[in-house]
Amino acid sequence: MRLFRSKTPPLLGLDISSTAVKLIELGGERGQLRLKAYAAAGLPPEAVIDKQVTDPDAVGAALRQAWDRAETRTRNVALAVGGSTVITKTIPMPEGLGERELEQQIRVEADQYIPFPLDDVGMDFEVLGPHPAERHMNEVFIAACRNDTIEGRVAAVEIAGLKCRLVDLESRAVENACGLIAEQIATGEDADSAVAFIDVGATTTTLNIMHRGKITYSREQAFGGKLLTEEIMHRYELSYEEAGKAKRVGGLPDDYADTVLQPFVTDTVHQIQRGLQFFFSSQGSIDRIRQIILAGGCASISGIDRAIESATEIPTRIADPFGRMSVELTTQLKRLQLDAPSLMTACGLALRRFDA
Q: How confident is the model over 129-169, as pLDDT tens digits?
A: 998 888 889 999 999 999 999 999 999 999 999 999 999 99
| One domain for residues 67 and 111 | no
Pairwise pLDDT comparison (214 vs 204), residue with the higher score: 204
Query: Once rounded to an integer, what is the mean pLDDT over residues 26-31?
Result: 87
Percentage of residues in the chain having pLDDT higher than 70: 96
Same domain, 67 and 102: no
Instruction: Convert the pLDDT of each residue in 280-336 to its tens digit.
Output: 998 778 889 999 999 999 999 999 999 999 999 999 999 999 988 998 887 777 788
Q: Are residues 130 and 29 located together in one domain of the fold?
A: no
CATH code where residue 108 lies: 3.30.1490.300
The phi, psi pair for 295, rounded to 5°, reads -130, -175
Report the range out of 38-42, 88-92, 121-125, 265-269 with the highest average pLDDT.
265-269
Total domains in the chain come to 3
In sequence order, which ranges of 134-202 are alpha helices (DSSP H)?
A: 147-159, 170-177
99 and 224 both lie in a single domain: no
Same domain, 169 and 201: no
Q: Are 153 and 288 in a shared domain? A: no
**Residue 120 sits in the same domain as residue 221:** no
Give the pLDDT confidence score for residue 283 in this predicted structure.
78
Domain harbouring 194, CATH code: 3.30.420.40
State residue 147's pLDDT score: 93
What value does the mean pLDDT take over residues 259-276? 97
- The answer to whether residue 87 scores a pLDDT higher than 60 is yes
pTM of the model: 0.90
Q: What's the mean pLDDT when you consider all of the chain?
A: 91
Residues 95 and 160 in one domain: no
Coil, helix or strand for 80? strand
Neighbours of 264 (CB within 10 A): 19
Q: Which domain holds residue 206?
A: 187-314
